[in-house]
Amino acid sequence: MAHRDIVVIGASAGGVEALTRLVRDLPPGLPASLFIVCHIAPTHRSMLPEILSRSGALLATHVIDGEPFHLGHIYVAPPDYHLLLAEEQRLRVVRGPRENHHRPAVDPLFRSAARLYGRRVIGVVLSGALYDGAAGLLAVRGGGGIAIVQDPADARVSSMPENAARIAGVDHSAPLDRLGSLLVELISQPLAETGGLSMTDAFEKMPDIVNADMREQVRNERRGRITVYSCPECGGALWQVNETALMQFRCHVGHAYNGETLLEDQASALEAALWTAVRTFKERHLLAHQLAEQEKLRGNMIGAAHFQEQAEQAERYGDAIQHYVLSNPPPPKSD
């Protein structure tokens, strides 16, 4: 009989301590897989799997893209990558856009779990600031899963569990010393043989809406309405003048453009942005090298290797932009 065997957990400030306390109460051979997103700066080396493995009976590892997942194991999102559950019980780590200023973010993990595994999912939001996890927990509940938050009064930083509870609602709110036993109890309960809910997530409908708006724009069907473009001078939204014989745009503070002028200004802004990217990558390359040398002097060869890897990556990215995009523009197409 099916049971809840997918546990997705999100945490931020105060999350390492909360996660350490939680996994301490989980028994070996737990018949569920745990997936964790904890906000960690992308430039820092995460030691969270090692910390969690030492703290409890379950082995924790950073996720490798495409690997299958198994029961009784803890899977941790690596820094600067979103963790997603995929079909055929596999995992993805993707460097997609930040959500709520974070990569990894909690919401993408929760949404992917809810979409694929529905009632088998238990979503847990622990200590942290702001709103990440609220929309994800809403998706978990929408798919028929169980929503749990750490009791905000028990959290070092209460915003994440408070906001998740207020926006999504929760099935359980518990302090850390009860969360482990609560998870074990919920995992052990068989699911009733009833049809699951169909998870609908408004966020995941957005790409279709955006693409439809862009197709309308290409067909010139947004005259008199807000466009998908932004003003090169102030960054505000542009409206298209409702005139069939002239393609003209105006932002809300008054900057106005003909279509051809807007296209030229976009080219100038794009080149400036690319040169800014090249300069930033070169500076990042030098700074990472400097930090690597400092760590070598301290005898920290692991830290030095980490910064050296970032330096080499920055150099590759900067050289690629300068060489392939700026120094060698594509030739004009022949008629």
Q: What is the mean pLDDT of the segment spanning 249-264?
A: 96
Yes or no: say if 53 and 166 are a contact pair by the CB < 8 Å rule: no
Would the pLDDT of 144 be above 90? yes
- What pLDDT does 45 receive? 83
- Whether CATH 3.40.50.180 fits 6-199: yes
Beta carbons within 10 angstroms of residue 36's beta carbon = 28
| Sequence-ordered list of residues with C-beta below 8 angstroms from that of 64, at least 6 positions apart, any chain | 91, 93
Would the pLDDT of 181 be above 80? yes
The model's pTM is 0.85
Confidence of residue 41 (pLDDT cuts 50, 70, 90): confident
- What pLDDT does 305 receive? 93
- What pLDDT does 33 receive? 98
Single-letter residue type at 22: L
- Residue spans of the domains in the chain: they are 6-199, 220-327
Q: Which residues form the catalytic set?
A: 12, 39, 132
Q: What is the mean pLDDT of the segment spanning 24-46?
A: 94
Q: For 87-101, how does the pLDDT look when each residue is reduced to its tens digit (9 = 90+)?
A: 999 999 999 999 999
Q: For 297-311, how does the pLDDT look when each residue is reduced to its tens digit (9 = 90+)?
A: 999 998 899 899 999
- What pLDDT does 42 receive? 85
Q: For 111-131, how does the pLDDT look when each residue is reduced to its tens digit (9 = 90+)?
A: 999 999 999 999 999 999 999
**Residues 258-285: b if buried by 16+ CB within 10 A, e if exposed:** eeeebeeeeeeeeeeeeeebbeebbebb
Collapsed DSSP state (helix, strand, coil) of residue 215: helix
